């Protein structure tokens, strides 16, 4: 019975991940409907400054929580999922400094250093609780795996680095933390997909991983060197859609699997 509850819990977490991604894309499309067919923000992150803000923030925080809560199939996959889970809320709570110029409202939804300060300090408390719980759980195991301890140590290093950056140089943190979290987040997600390419449905996962890495490099390169105004938006939407596809496939594959399998 306990195993059945665990399986159902993991199903709901996976479905929640897919649902919030669809919710975010739907919110962006609805905002686009209200602005006109030629009016797009320069990036998905810039929709923070539109009526999409609440959905954008909620989606990324939910994705972060789910990535930490879901156990990776190997210790290294679990480490990358945990790292992605740490960074996703930062992407949500520290907005891109580029507000874009296309929105259905007259002025951009305001943000302020006080907002970032309040939200990040709250996030630091939550992250500290999570790390302490992870350490206590690891120490309480009868046979402690070194790979799990290393994963916790890496996550702790990232967390401590973020805290030091925040308190040592707030101006730099407010300007750059969004990109400093968003780029590694996408890299960690691609790594997780690649790691799954060693499993039973390897070709499906490998194809998605190649598409994710390839689209990021090709479209990102065109956007950077060709000065494509909406290149970043296309890259972000492509990656998040492919991530949703990956999650759908893995959910189907592991529908009846227990977390330990």
The span from the CA of 261 to the CA of 234, in Å, is: 36
At how many degrees (to 10) do helices 202-225 and 170-196 cross? 140
Instruction: Work out the pLDDT band at 27, boundaries 50, 70, 90.
Output: very high
> What is the per-residue pLDDT across 132-188, written as a single tens digit (0 to 9) for each?
999 999 998 877 788 899 999 999 999 999 999 999 999 999 999 999 999 999 999
Q: Is residue 126 part of a domain?
A: yes
Residue 89: Cβ-neighbour burial (10 angstroms; 0-12, 13-18, 19+):
buried
Q: Is residue 162 part of a domain?
A: yes
Q: Is residue 172 part of a domain?
A: yes
pLDDT above 90 covers what percent of the chain?
A: 61
Average pLDDT, the chain: 89
Residue 73: Cβ-neighbour burial (10 angstroms; 0-12, 13-18, 19+):
buried
> Residue 129: is its pLDDT beyond 80?
yes
Q: Is residue 258 part of a domain?
A: no
Q: Is residue 219 part of a domain?
A: no
Region of poorest pLDDT, from 103-107, 115-119, 205-209: 103-107
Q: Is residue 233 part of a domain?
A: no
The span from the CA of 81 to the CA of 207, in Å, is: 20
Q: Is residue 208 part of a domain?
A: no
Instruction: Work out the pLDDT band at 36, boundaries 50, 70, 90.
Output: confident
> What is the per-residue pLDDT across 41-75, written as a single tens digit (0 to 9) for each?
989 999 999 999 999 999 999 999 999 999 888 89
Q: Give me the pLDDT at residue 176, please.
A: 94
**Where in the sequence is the domain holding 65, given as residue range(s)?**
2-188
Instruction: Work out the pLDDT band at 208, boundaries 50, 70, 90.
Output: very high
- Whether residue 101 contacts residue 122, with contact meaning beta carbons closer than 8 Å, is answered with no
CA angle in degrees (0–180, nearest 5) for 249-258-66: 60
CA angle in degrees (0–180, nearest 5) for 118-119-121: 70
> Residue 1: is its pLDDT beyond 60?
no
DSSP tag of 99: -
The number of folded domains in the chain is 1
What's the pTM value of the predicted model, to 2 decimals? 0.91
């Amino acid at each position: 019975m306990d195993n059945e509850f665990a399986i159902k819990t993991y199903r709901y977490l996976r479905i929640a991940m897919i649902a919030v991604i669809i919710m975010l894309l739907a919110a962006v499309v609805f905002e686009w409907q209200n602005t006109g067919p030629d009016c797009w923000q320069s990036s998905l992150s810039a929709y923070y400054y539109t009526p999409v803000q609440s959905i954008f923030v909620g989606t990324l925080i939910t994705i972060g929580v789910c990535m930490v809560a879901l156990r990776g199939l190997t210790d290294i996959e679990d480490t990358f999922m945990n790292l992605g889970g740490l960074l996703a809320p930062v992407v949500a709570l520290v907005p891109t400094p580029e507000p874009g110029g296309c929105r259905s409202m007259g002025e951009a939804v305001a943000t302020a250093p006080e907002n970032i300060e309040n939200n990040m300090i709250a996030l630091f408390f939550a992250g500290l609780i999570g790390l302490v719980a992870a350490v206590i759980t690891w120490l309480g195991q009868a046979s402690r795996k070194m790979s799990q301890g290393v994963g916790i140590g890496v996550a702790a290093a990232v967390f401590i680095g973020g805290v030091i950056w925040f308190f040592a140089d707030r101006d730099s943190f407010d300007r750059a933390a969004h990109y400093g979290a968003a780029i590694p987040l996408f890299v960690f997600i691609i790594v997780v997909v690649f790691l799954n390419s060693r499993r039973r449905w390897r070709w499906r996962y490998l194809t998605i991983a190649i598409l994710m890495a390839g689209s990021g490099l090709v479209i990102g390169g065109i956007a950077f060197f060709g000065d494509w105004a909406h290149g970043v938006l296309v890259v972000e939407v492509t990656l998040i859609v492919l991530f949703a596809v990956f999650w759908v496939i893995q959910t189907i594959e592991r529908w009846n699997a227990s977390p330990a399998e």
